């Protein structure tokens, strides 16, 4: 994947995450500035996404740690490069639920 393809896919993913939050009905505020998406929960905790163009990765920072995602072009999804290769939305739903203290399901469009 070249830099232009990465940027297009990553930017669409950032928009899709915002749509997933809106569609979930969860009490999560979000703000996107310069390609960095910050999710803020009612208790003040945050999850932050950033694009890492040089690495062709999306990075996510949460209370439980930092995670790096590679885009699987065959599966058309972002997959965490550590642990059990968890898919982005599955991991985001799990971590958002932990941070919010309630079940939150965020799904890809």
Alpha-carbon torsion angle 93, 95, 99, 100, nearest 10: 10
Note down the domain range covering 74. 3-100
Per-residue model confidence as pLDDT tens for the chain (109 residues): 898 999 999 999 999 999 999 999 899 999 999 989 999 999 999 999 999 988 999 999 999 999 999 999 999 999 999 878 999 999 999 999 999 999 999 998 8
Kindly state whether residue 47 falls inside one of the protein's structural domains: yes
Kindly state whether residue 105 falls inside one of the protein's structural domains: no
Q: How far apart are CA 78 and CA 56, in angstroms?
A: 11
- Domain containing residue 88: CATH number: 3.30.920.10
Kindly state whether residue 87 falls inside one of the protein's structural domains: yes
Kindly state whether residue 109 falls inside one of the protein's structural domains: no
Number of domains in the chain: 1
Kindly state whether residue 84 falls inside one of the protein's structural domains: yes
Kindly state whether residue 106 falls inside one of the protein's structural domains: no
């Amino acid at each position: 994947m070249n830099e232009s393809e990465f940027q297009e896919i990553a930017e669409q993913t950032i928009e899709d995450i915002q749509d997933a939050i809106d569609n979930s009905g969860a009490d999560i505020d979000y703000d996107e500035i310069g390609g960095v998406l910050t999710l803020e929960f009612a208790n003040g905790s945050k999850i932050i996404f950033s694009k890492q163009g040089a690495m062709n990765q999306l990075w996510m920072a949460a209370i439980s740690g930092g995670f790096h995602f590679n885009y699987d072009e065959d599966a058309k999804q972002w997959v965490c490069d550590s642990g059990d290769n968890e898919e982005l939305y599955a991991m985001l739903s799990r971590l958002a639920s932990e941070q919010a203290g309630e079940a939150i399901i965020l799904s890809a469009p």
